[in-house]
A and B are shown apart, each in its own frame.
Chain A
Amino acid sequence: MNVGLHHYLFVSFMLFSLGLLGVILRRNLLVIYMSLELMLNSANLALVSFSRFNNKLDGQVLVFFIITVAAAEVAVGLALIVALYRKRQSAHVEDLTSMKL
């Protein structure tokens, strides 16, 4: 079987949807955060496969930017989640309720 652009894009869409489902359905902040990274990486997969099949390199350059930015985001995000855990002894979204009307 020949693996073409469509197959890669299908995998990328699947990963994106799985990540989105994870963000919506899971209740642990760390798992939600992992799902968000999955969504970013599905976009990376789409960019690289478009780049490979269209013979253009811009997409791969953008992927490097995305990976760098995602790393910075993870550094800040994990620090935040750890700080919240130390304060609350919990990493569950149900416990984020100190602000309500």
Chain B
Amino acid sequence: MNSSLIMLEISVIGLGLVLMLADLFVPAERRRFIGYAAIVALGVLLVTSLSGNGSCGQFDTAFGGMFVNDALSLFFKQLFIVAAILVLFMAAEFSDKLAEGSVAEYYSLILFALAGMLFAASSNDFTMLFVSIELITITFYVLVSFQRGKIQSLEAGVKYLILGALSSAFMVFGIALIWGTTGELNFTRLAAVAPQFADSQIFLLGVLLVLVGLGFKIAAFPFQIWAPDVYQGAPTPTTAFLAIGSKAAGFVLLLRVLFTAVPGVTAHWANLLIVISAITILYGNLCAIPQRNLKRLLGYSSIAHAGYLLLGVAALSASGQSALMYYLAGYVFTVMAAFFVITLVMRHLATEDISGLAGLNQRSPLLAATLTLAMVSLAGIPPLAGFFGKFLLLKAVIEAAQTSHNHGYYCLAFTALAGVIISLYYYFGVIRAIYWSKSPEDVSPIVLSSPAKFSIGACLAGMLWIGVFPNTVLNLTNLAAAALGK
């Protein structure tokens, strides 16, 4: 037993509790500044985890193999902390749209969701998988419906609640069937006994049901129904955290289940993964075309991106997994930049329609440039992060086609390319609204606070750095993918 490994998670939960207590002593008009204290504390945790002295730098297992720290968990934990820091910045800007004085609760809920994600990154056991995914999901029920005075927010919360509970019921039943047939909950030990059960229908049904639960988290077809409504109705910082944190947590658990726990089954299911990935890409991109609400559009775009990320899973190779993680790293900064601009521009407007972006070029050139670069990166145009990520994912799929002689992979690569071309249409629709829309009514300049400028600068720097100098991140992702293959 080595419980010092979970120091990072304990610190994050402790920080969340401290923020809740601070809520009692800080007057309501100053509560948004509590967020900056939380950002500093998370920054310290991030630096200690990077330096290798922190708990997640020690590669070991704890609690009877339930909890594992390796290169994979280290990579995802850093990604989650960066995402949470950016979301906290966004929440501080958003605080005047939340109920009076409730922003400190919002901050601490973000930290509890972060703790769930950190546990998810390290889980090596179905019990840990279930508990960490539920910690994330239940916190998100509250985060999504946090604007309780707004009917859309409540509706989004209820929809997320019903479909989230449904998917966790499927997952629990799947875990029961897997455990019932094999007698193992631990991924590493399950991998040793799973080959004997490769023909057992009940075992395969169990694995399928667990994949249903994880498919819901990443919003892959056919479990994507919730995404557009929830993305539209939720407060914008929640939407951003949902698009990054919740999706990345789903992917790290998917990688662990598919490649650590049941690698033998996964090898037979390549065609299933190919089909799901292709349909998800097409569905997300085609449905995004007619959307007018910017957050709903990004909801469909996030479904499409779940499909692109699944390319890396379907390739069934270390290079595919590494490309997936690289793509996620670029996706964090891109999506955060987009949602940051939405938060700043739309907070004084009643609608979140694309037409609200009219004249943004004159109101704030920095925000206009940021949103443009984010859209260009999401569409996958060089030299930004999105381009190189898509290139690596497609490369991994083509390699898989050459080694396995499965022609489905060529069809998948073709579908992904078609998806990229379709997506250009609606991403450029957003850019057109910024620069070329007629007669903007409101041309008052948007004043940015210095933390907002700083975080937008960080998003831009991240997007460009990951796109132009991919080697640093690629080294990390290659190490992480190697840890998964062991």
Residues of B within 8 A of A58 (CB): 127, 179, 183, 185
Expressed in whole angstroms, the minimum distance between the Cβ of A65 and any Cβ of chain B is 6
Instruction: Say yes or no: A54-B183 contact (C-beta < 8 A), given A69-B131, A81-B158, A84-B154.
Output: yes
B355 part of interface (Cβ distance < 8 Å): no
Question: Do B179 and A47 touch (CB < 8 A)?
Answer: yes
Expressed in whole angstroms, the minimum distance between the Cβ of B247 and any Cβ of chain A is 20
Residues of A within 8 A of B479 (CB): none
- Name the CB-closest residue of A to B160: A80
Residues of B within 8 A of A1 (CB): none
Question: Do A62 and B127 touch (CB < 8 A)?
Answer: yes
Indicate with 1 or 0, residue by residue over A34-46, a CB within 8 angstroms of chain B CB atoms: 0010011011101
Residues of A within 8 A of B168 (CB): 40, 73
Majority secondary structure of chain A interface residues (helix, strand, loop or mixed): helix
**Which residues between 210 and 260 of chain B lie within 8 Å of chain A, taking CB atoms?**
228-229, 232-233
Residues of A within 8 A of B157 (CB): 80, 84
Instruction: Say yes or no: A65-B127 contact (C-beta < 8 A), given A98-B151, A99-B156.
Output: yes
Question: Do A66 and B130 touch (CB < 8 A)?
Answer: yes
Indicate with 1 or 0, residue by residue over B168-187, a CB within 8 angstroms of chain A CB atoms: 11101101110110010100
- Name the CB-closest residue of A to B232: A99
B138 part of interface (Cβ distance < 8 Å): yes
Indicate with 1 or 0, residue by residue over B129-151, a CB within 8 angstroms of chain A CB atoms: 01100100010011001001001
A44 to B291, CA, bound (A): 42
17 A-B contact pairs sorted by A residue (CB < 8 Å): A33-B165, A36-B162, A36-B166, A43-B173, A46-B180, A50-B179, A54-B180, A58-B127, A58-B185, A59-B180, A62-B179, A72-B138, A76-B138, A77-B161, A80-B141, A83-B154, A88-B151
B-side interface residues toward A, CB under 8 Å? 126-127, 130-131, 134, 138, 141-142, 145, 148, 151-152, 154-159, 161-162, 165-166, 168-170, 172-173, 175-177, 179-180, 183, 185, 228-229, 232-233, 290-292, 296
